[in-house]
């Protein structure tokens, strides 16, 4: 199954001039694929471990820490990864506080991109028949 994810990144420099960079990325990712390569850590931050139409299980790089969620999200170990169960439409943030930059990544599960749904739409298109042109049966108006 493929999904559409949105990742917002904020990178803060810890020393003067204390610059801040923002970036937003939308990616289509399949189960088992790593995504969102971070320029500072030079590693992929996330991996889609499992997904359905209601939630995705997202594994995340161990150098990033889940920001406080007040127990609203289920954290778990899944296939050897630190992971969390992310409901569709919900965003969650992660922090990386090592080195010269503070990095925050916010990920949102936007929607599933399911091949079965696409196949069903294509099937409907094949069954569609154009309505017959009724103008052929009507008498032509007198052109004079």
For the chain, what is the mean pLDDT? 80
Sequence-distant (≥ 6) Cβ neighbours of residue 108 within 8 angstroms: 5, 6, 7, 8, 89, 90, 91
State pLDDT tens for residues 5-32. Answer: 999 999 998 888 888 999 999 999 999 9
Q: Summarize the confidence of residues 71-96 as an average pLDDT.
A: 85
State pLDDT tens for residues 52-70. Answer: 999 999 999 888 888 876 6
* pLDDT bucket at 144, cuts 50 / 70 / 90: low
Torsion over CA: 78, 80, 107, 53 (sign): negative
What angle (nearest 5°) sits at the alpha carbon of residue 104, between those of residues 25 and 74?
Answer: 90
Q: Hey, where are the domains in the chain?
A: 2-124
């Amino acid at each position: 199954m493929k999904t559409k994810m949105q990742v917002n990144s904020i990178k803060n420099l810890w020393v003067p001039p204390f610059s801040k960079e923002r970036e937003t990325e939308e990616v289509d990712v399949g189960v088992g694929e790593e995504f969102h390569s971070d320029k500072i850590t030079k590693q992929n931050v996330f991996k889609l471990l499992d997904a359905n139409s209601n939630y995705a299980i997202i594994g995340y790089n161990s150098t990033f820490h889940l920001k406080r969620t007040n127990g609203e999200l289920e954290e778990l170990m899944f296939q050897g990864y630190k992971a969390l169960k992310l409901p569709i439409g919900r965003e969650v943030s992660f922090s990386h506080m090592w080195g010269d930059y503070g990095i925050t990544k916010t990920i949102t599960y936007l929607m599933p991109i399911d091949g079965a749904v696409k196949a069903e739409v294509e099937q409907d298109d094949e069954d569609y028949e154009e309505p017959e042109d009724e103008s052929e049966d009507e008498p032509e108006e007198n052109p004079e």
